[in-house]
Structure 1
Amino acid sequence: MSAATVGIPRALAYYLYFPRWRAFLNELGVNVVTSGLSNRQMLDDGVKEALAEACVPIKLYYGHVLSLKDKADYIFIPRLYCLNSQTLYCPKFLGLPDMIKHSLSHLPPVIDTMFNNRSKGFLARRTELAKSFFELGSKFTNDKLKILKAFYRSLTTEHRYLELLQSGLLPNQAITVLGGAKNTDTVYAEGSLKFAVLGYPYHLYDDFINVGVLTKLRRLGVQVVTTENLSPAVLVRQKHQYPKDMFWTFSDRAFRSALHFFQEGRVDGVIYVTAFGCGPDAMVYRMIEMESKKYPHIPFMILMIDEHSGEAGISTRLEAFTDMVRRRKKGV
């Protein structure tokens, strides 16, 4: 009997959790395939199927799912609710499996395992995480020992992934290294300027959706650091003056990392990439903008992207911002 093949869309939570998912499924003998790099056809396909008011990343996700429908026996679309006992994922992440199943026809079976680790305490959260992975693993084997072994492999892979990110690699590079290939990507090499480029992972690391922002900065002589290069402990310890923490997971990460880079003062500029139509982000980037006014020595810029973003316009803004920072640094 041939091994099952599971398709994982290269979008949304892919940039944070794909290594652990791939390691777990591979250990069970399951083949994993991913959709290709985002492109105009995927977005056009997604726009046709998704609700008009959906944000660009959701529309693009639809396109990624459609590109996998004839390549896999199952499509993995987990229900992400909470993974840190504190913050929640955008409601679209929780409802995404239902949105896909009821919008797209002729798909392979969708695996929609729930990941909800809301308990306090490390051991309780780890137990809840194990339950989710056992539910996922039971779809392919009844061997509990084999599932347990796969779970621990996913944990060690996740640890290694975080190490690679904290060493300076970004998700696409780290995923390449974990896959056994040599990282030949020099997009984020040393530059004469250093910018913190912030935003939700699926905005930052998809060159199509952000019109190649990180690549363009490299060509302008800019070294990039992002939220994913910070350790989780740094983000947890980051203080702010507000009475409550941010409600949404990616919003909280973006806000805390912005405060960290502003307060640390070791970057020449901060750029925040946001997507038009994202409800939580509409509040977050304004809060970061207000915080930036406390640090006038660190230039700050917001880049808003949507399905109509043009390369020329993004390039012009990045060039102007970089030139301004460089002149300011030289005292010109």
Structure 2
Amino acid sequence: MLRIGIPSALFYYVYYPLWKTYFDELGTQVITSGKTTRKLMDNGVREALADACVPVKVFFGHTMAISDQVDYLFIPRIVCLNKKTVYCPKFLGLPDMIRHGIPGMPPIIDVRVDARERKDSILSAYYQVGKMLGKTSAQIIKALLKAQIKQFKFQRLLCGGLQPLEAIDNIFNGKHNKPPDNQGQLKFAVVGYPYIIHDQYISVAIINKLRRMRINVVTPDNLSPLTVRIQRHASPKRLFWTFSERTLRATRYFAGRNDIDGIIHLSAFGCGPDSIVDRFIQLDNYSSTIPFMSLTVDEHSGEAGVSTRLEAFVDMVKRKRRDIT
């Protein structure tokens, strides 16, 4: 049985249910790289470009962790899915960086997906992958349909309040996770890129830390694509980058809700687009009536420092609520 490796980083937090189901239905074995660890991070830092952002360095580490366990690595070159915005250039170059930057890598499936080039770009991409694996057209279409159904279930769980890793656990591991509901407590929106927020090593487990403080947490992943798309931020023009535009629109939505007590923007040091997003959030005055904190993390971020800042922010928000009431 062919073994397909999917690094547990970047797009993993968005499309893993779709990808795993698709490859499972085609009769291959999917192998992931597990959670980010200090060793994995160090390996990635050693091999990645010096000016790469933390998530890209982590991705290098994840590919190295499974390179000797699989027949292929699945690293699609996803350029554009909405015909309007594109993904970060480093995302587009990942297959080449891995292929030429790390010796001894297995063959990489780097099919290109660009909705600006053709309407059926997604179907075409999966068709190419299926044919590469020697499958018939009927097998490919059947696998893709089942994968899309599983991805829809994943999206529904996210809209119900679960975070990506919790939803993945529910779908593939038979867990019955439910979003914690601390009645009467504060609710914070943690905004940013999914592969930063939900990688517990990069984010220093920010969601778990807030929950232990009895804070209800929501993220952009809990919003439906339609909810995000119809938001209008105050910027005079659309940002070029897909995740940046998504973060701005999600922040606009959360800032307009009465049940959000605080907004935290979690960003990665070394990410150019993310630094612009943080500035836009503040300049656009999204959180003029809601306490806002910007928190930047990198490979050297310490848990104690992040915890101290979170505790101070929570105390400030609680004090503000007491003053109002």
Which TM-score band applies after superposition, normalised by the shorter structure? over 0.9
Q: C-alpha displacement at 1:109, in angstroms?
A: 0.9
Q: Find the aligned partners of 2:177 and 2:227 in 1 and give their Cα distance.
A: 29
- Cα distance between partner residues in 2 of 1:162 and 1:204: 17
Question: Contact between 1:259 and 1:291, CA under 8 Å: does it hold in 2?
Answer: no
Q: Cα RMSD between the aligned structures?
A: 1.5
The alignment status of 1:274 with 2:267, answered yes or no, reads yes
Q: Is the 8 A contact 1:265 1:298 kept in 2?
A: no
How many residue pairs end up in the alignment?
323
Aligned: 1:57 with 2:55:
yes
Give the residue type in structure 1 aligned to 2:145: Y
8 Å contact kept, 2:47–2:102: yes
Which residue pairs with 1:118 in the alignment? 116
Distance 1:175 1:279 in 2: 30
1:169 is aligned to 2:167: no
Instruction: Provide Cα deviations, 1:95-119, integer angstroms capped at 9, x if missing partner.
Output: 1000000111111111111111126
Aligned-pair CA distance for 1:278 = 0.1
CA distance in 1, matches of 2:122, 2:108: 20
Is 2:186 aligned against 1:199? Answer: no
User: Displacement of 1:190 after TM fit?
Assistant: 2.9
| Structure 2 counterpart of 1:327 | 319
SS in 2 for 1:331: helix
Partner of 2:83: 85
Is 1:131–2:131 an aligned residue pair?
A: no
- After TM superposition, the score normalised by the length of structure 1 is 0.94
Q: Using the alignment, how far apart are the partners of 1:129 and 1:242 within structure 2?
A: 30
Q: What is residue 261 of structure 1 aligned with on the other side?
A: 254
Shift of the alpha carbon at 1:264?
A: 2.3
Q: What letter is aligned with 1:101? A: R
CA distance in structure 2 between the aligned counterparts of 1:38 and 1:156, rounded to whole angstroms? 28
Decide whether the 8 Å contact of 1:20 with 1:157 is kept in 2. yes
Matched residue of 2:100: which SS? Answer: helix
Give the counterpart letter for 2:156 in structure 1.
E
**Given the superposition, is the C-alpha separation of residues 211 and 185 from structure 1 closer, same or farther in structure 2, using an over 3 Å criterion?**
farther
- Cα deviation for residue 48 of structure 1 reads 0.7
Q: Greater CA deviation, 190-199 or 203-212?
A: 190-199
Aligned-pair CA distance for 1:185: 7.0
The answer for unaligned runs of 5 or more in structure 1 is none
Helix, strand or coil: the match of 1:296? coil
What secondary structure is seen at the aligned counterpart in 2 of 1:196?
strand
Identical-residue share of aligned pairs (%): 45
- For each residue in 1:24-73, what CA deviation from the matched residue of structure 2 results, as whole angstroms up to 9, or x when unmatched? 11110111010010000011001110111000111111100000011111
Name the structure 1 match of 2:142. Answer: 149
How do residues 173-322 of structure 1 correspond to structure 2 at under 5 angstroms?
Answer: 173-184=166-177, 188-190=180-182, 192-292=185-285, 295-322=287-314
Q: Helix, strand or coil: the match of 2:104?
A: coil
Cα deviation, residue 233, structure 1: 0.7
CA-to-partner distance for each residue in 1:144-168, whole Å, 9 max, x for gaps?
1000101111211111111111011
Aligned to 1:30: 28
TM-score normalised by length of structure 2:
0.96
Checking the alignment, whether the CA contact within 8 Å between 1:11 and 1:61 is kept in structure 2 is yes
Q: Deviations over 1:180-235 (max 9, x none)?
A: 4213476x543611000010011100110111111110111101001011111111
> Any runs of at least 4 consecutive aligned residues in structure 1 with deviations exceeding 4 A, and if so which?
none
Secondary structure class of the residue paired with 2:188: strand
**Correspondence for 1:6 among 4, 7, 12:** 4
| Correspondence for 1:67 | 65
> Gaps spanning 5+ residues in structure 2: where?
none
